[in-house]
Amino acid sequence: MVRSQIRFGITLPTSHSTLQLSTEQKEKKLKRLLKFIITLLILASIIFILFKVIKIDDIIMKKLYPLKYSEYVEKYAKEYNIDKYMVYAIIKAESNFNENAKSSSDAIGLMQIMEITAIETARKMDLEVTEEDLFKPDLNINIGLKYFTYLLNHYNNNYPLAIIAYNAGMGNVDAWIKDGTIKEDGTDIENVPFKETNNYVRKILRDYEIYKELYN
Q: Any idea which fold 67-215 has?
A: Lysozyme (1.10.530)
Q: Which pTM value belongs to this model?
A: 0.76
**Catalytic residue set:** 94
Q: Are strands 2-7 and 10-14 parallel, antiparallel or unpaired?
A: antiparallel
Given a contact cutoff of 8 angstroms between Cβ atoms, the answer to whether 65 and 88 are in contact is yes
State the Cα–Cα distance between residues 115 and 117, nearest whole angstrom.
5
Domain extents for the chain? 2-54, 67-215
Report pLDDT digits (tens) over 115-171.
Answer: 999 999 999 999 999 999 999 999 999 999 999 999 999 999 999 999 999 999 999
Greater confidence (53 vs 45) lies with: 45
Give the three-class secondary structure for 179.
coil
State the Cα–Cα distance between residues 174 and 61, nearest whole angstrom.
36
Given a contact cutoff of 8 angstroms between Cβ atoms, the answer to whether 72 and 138 are in contact is yes
